[in-house]
Structure 1
Amino acid sequence: MQTVTAPEAQAWLVEKLAVRLGVEPADIDVDRYFDEFDLDSTEALILAGELEKWLGFELEATALWYHPTVAALSEHIAEESARNVAAA
């Protein structure tokens, strides 16, 4: 398992959100709250599942609550990724 960096996580999230929203990646504001992106609950669950599959580990259920922007979640993912790699 390889550590995922914050820039890698951010790029992944931006790309997935852009595709889901039908916009260019450059149009995704990484400091905007997730609930402002107009994703319905099904889309959010699909995105979370794809993210966990890409990462290779599960995020805690409260991750989006405590890290509510792409930028904040990306930093958290990098920390969790490093912790998971170190524990492996």
Structure 2
Amino acid sequence: MNTTAQDLKTWLTDRIAFYLEVPADTISPDVKLVEYGLESVYALALCGDVEDEFGIEVEPTLAWDHPTVDALAQLLEERLAGAPAA
């Protein structure tokens, strides 16, 4: 799978916007998701979405350990490339 960082950011932004019921263009990649009001139930759902979409296992604390779209995309890019997770 050849997924770019921009592809990951777009996918993550779309999923988060879906959960928050806001337009994707209102989600900034460097703002903490908790500042948008992302609740824990949606953070866990995002973990499941990541696992389903990319076929990698992630910790249930993913959105708290990597609290922005930029941080999440960087982690996923590393994981997808086979680099050890931070």
Aligned residues: 83
Say if 1:63 and 1:41 are closer, same or farther in 2 by CA, change over 3 A: closer
SS at match of 1:52: helix
State TM-score, norm by structure 2: 0.82
SS at match of 2:72: helix
State the structure with bigger RCO (CA 8 A, min sep 6), 1 or 2: 1
Which AA in structure 1 matches 2:12?
Answer: L
Aligned counterparts of 1:71 and 1:15: Cα–Cα separation in 2? 13
Aligned counterparts of 1:62 and 1:16: Cα–Cα separation in 2? 17
Q: Look up the match of 1:83.
A: 82
Q: Look up the match of 1:25.
A: 24
State TM-score, norm by structure 1: 0.80
Aligned pair 1:59/2:86, yes or no? no
The structure whose residues are more often helix, as a share, is: 1
Which AA in structure 1 matches 2:80?
Answer: S
Output the aligned Cα RMSD: 1.8
Larger radius of gyration: 1
**Unaligned ranges ≥5, structure 1:** none
Say if 1:54 and 1:68 are closer, same or farther in 2 by CA, change over 3 A: same
- Report Cα offsets for 1:5-46 as digits up to 9, x if no partner: 211111111001111112111110110112112122111111
Aligned counterparts of 2:62 and 2:15: Cα–Cα separation in 1? 17
